[in-house]
Amino acid sequence: MTGLRQAAAAEKRVVREGAAIEDSAPAEEQASIYRMDRRIAVTPRRARRLAAAAFAVLLLAGAAAIYVRFGLTRTVVVNADQVVVASVAPDLFSEYVPSTANVMPRVTAYVDAVEGGQVAERLVEEGATVSKGQPLVRLKNTSLQLEVLGRQAQLMEQLDRLNSTLLSFEQARLGHQRELNDAQAEVEQTAQRLRRREALRPSGAVSQAEIDELAIDLNRYRKLQATMSTALEVDERFQTQEVKQLRAAIHTTQDNLTLAGETLQSLTLRAPISGQLTALDAELGAAKSPGQRIGQIDDDRSYKAEAAIDEFYLGRVAVGQHAVAEVGGHDYPLAVAKVYPQVRERQFKVDLYFGEPTPPALRRGQTLEIRLTIGAARRGLVTANGPFYEDTGGSWVFVLSPSGDKAQRREVRFGRRNPAQIEVLSGLRSGERIITSSYQSLKSFDRVTIRGGS
């Protein structure tokens, strides 16, 4: 509308200017004009002027429109309760990853049925605190008991035979030793008699034939002694090997007997560790197959936290890194104890152990909110994180004026960020305030006027 008015005014000015020019022309020229046909002498000149004026008007109108569209600052008015404001201030920035963790015991022991059977007696209830070695469930397996008893009888019989063989070897050794001792005694006695006879020979009291007979007997006894000594050595050498093998067989048989007894004892399921019996599947009369899981015991003296972390941080998480868990409004320290390299559903798992102090009254399966630190803390300018970062990519923000009722768009540069803070690298000064709420409805504006703010 303004452009049309300007065009009409310009046209009037052109008409007035044309009339003035005609009035100022010499009398001869005017007379000539009036005598000539106006369609030939006057119309083209006026048309050219009108065309030029119209072009100028259109040019001005276009320039005005461009100025209004692109030259003026685009401003939007919002209510103070529709925006969130945060300050820029120096602070200690720590990069961390938030995650949800589940409380699990550090040590978990399982109670399995080594031998199958039928549940004959349930000695404790699920949830009870048990001690290591405490009986939990007794199974009954008649066929297994008969089989084990038969095996024990066979092993006992075999053990008796081995012991009898070992005893016979020992008796034989003792018999050979006794015979050797007797032969040695005969040699000594015959040698003494021979010496006495030889001493009496000069007196003629003893005949030479008697001396010769004693010498022959002594020689025979000595040969017998040597033979028996050799036989005893051979027997001892052979018996030593046999006795060694027999003792090993006896030891094996005794182990088998012990194992057979343990097989029967395995029908009584016992607690492998001390702790809380968190699961027990043993109803009276229920049949359990070998290897079937019966129960589960958790060591309730120490717990850990199992957390799932985004795979993006797999290379930045290592054993020993610190974390914080919030329990009952208080922060408790943790440390990464194990990192599982397997990635499932774009996440990997880590185990974290609690430090001192430990949160009170932890329970298996309890959910904790943890913050895992993945970068060294550094002091610098920081501001609050918010939805604006996703809307602008962190390239610009609305900075509030000192009065707080206006905000101007400004280019900035941010660094690291965590769920609560963003590191400011350039574009903002300490003490300035920015809008951190969503920019979805503010992207096309350069200024924001905040109504009702301060």
Q: What is the pLDDT of residues 163-208, one digit of tens each?
A: 787 788 778 778 878 887 888 888 888 888 878 778 777 777 777 8
pTM of the predicted model over 0.85: no
pLDDT bracket for residue 2 (50, 70, 90): very low
Model confidence over 311-332: pLDDT tens digits? 988 988 999 999 999 888 888 9
- Planar angle of CA 357, 296, 335, nearest 5 degrees: 25
Mean of pLDDT over the chain: 81
Which of 111, 117, 115 is CA-nearest to residue 284? 117
3-state secondary structure of 379: strand
Measured CA to CA in angstroms, residue 386 lies from 40, 84, 96, 182 at distances of: 75, 9, 16, 110
Q: What is the residue whose two structure tokens read 């309730």?
A: 300
At residue 73, the pLDDT reads 59
The terminus-to-terminus CA distance of the chain in angstroms comes to 39
Alpha carbons 106 and 104: distance in angstroms, whole number: 6
Measure CA 161 to chain center: 58
Which of 252, 299, 253 is CA-nearest to residue 274? 299
At residue 9, the pLDDT reads 52
Model confidence over 412-426: pLDDT tens digits? 999 888 888 999 999
**CB-based contacts of 424: which residues, under 8 Å, 6+ apart?**
88, 380, 381, 382, 383, 412, 414, 415
The pairing of strands 129-130 and 275-280 is antiparallel
- The answer, yes or no, to whether residue 216 has pLDDT greater than 90, is no
Q: Which residue has the higher pLDDT, 221 or 78?
A: 78
Strands (DSSP E) found in 264-412: 268-270, 275-280, 287-288, 293-298, 303-310, 322-327, 330-344, 347-354, 367-373, 378-384, 396-400, 406-411
Alpha carbons 23 and 30: distance in angstroms, whole number: 8
